Amino acid sequence: MPVIAPMPAARPARIPNQRDGAEEAVAAGTTVDHLTETYRAHYRSLLGLAALLLDDTASCEDVVQEAFIRVHSARKRVRDPEKTLAYLRQTVVNLSRSALRRRILGLKLLSKPMPDMASAEEGAYDQLERDSLIKAMKGLQRRQREVLVLRYFADMTEAQVAETLGISLGSVKAYGSRGIAALRLAMEAPA
């Protein structure tokens, strides 16, 4: 567990007491030694706190170490040395929240994954099939082609096709079945 080497303890500043002229000791913040001891003594509990908020150990360790660094740099503001652990805990919580916010933002900004795409060979093969289907469709009679396009490509019912083309339902069925049979023969024939 990497720990920043402690600096020599800072002596508390002496401020003269205005009433009796005597000097009284005033803490100028948490000492480095006290902060380091608190960090070492409570490292596992701080790590556990981060683990409750984050999902991977590496991030938890990073957050706890960063908390130590931040409290270390702001130790002059911790007036009561007994509150050092509270400052460390709060910093761990805040840094964990920030890490989660960054992750969520990163997930929102990620581009949507591409749908499963065919390989180049499959794409070329599909294009050849499409080309041969279009060629075969052009070889059909006009009414057969119209019925098949409306029925299967426009996804219309047989009744809708009959109404659109102005022919009977029986004619739609006949043109459709003859058109599919002609397509099958044209597609199976060697090119």
Residue 186 has pLDDT above 50, yes or no: yes
Of the chain, the percentage scoring pLDDT greater than 90 comes to 31
The pLDDT score that the predictor gives to residue 118 is 65
Task: Write the CA distances from 46 to 34, 49, 59, 61, 110, integer angstroms.
Answer: 16, 5, 12, 9, 31
Query: Can you tell me the distance from the alpha carbon of 27 to that of 75, in angstroms, rounded to the nearest whole number?
Result: 11
pLDDT band of 132, cuts 50, 70, 90: confident
Residue 136 has pLDDT above 60, yes or no: yes
Residue 82 has pLDDT above 60, yes or no: yes
Task: Give the residue-averaged pLDDT of 88-108.
Answer: 88
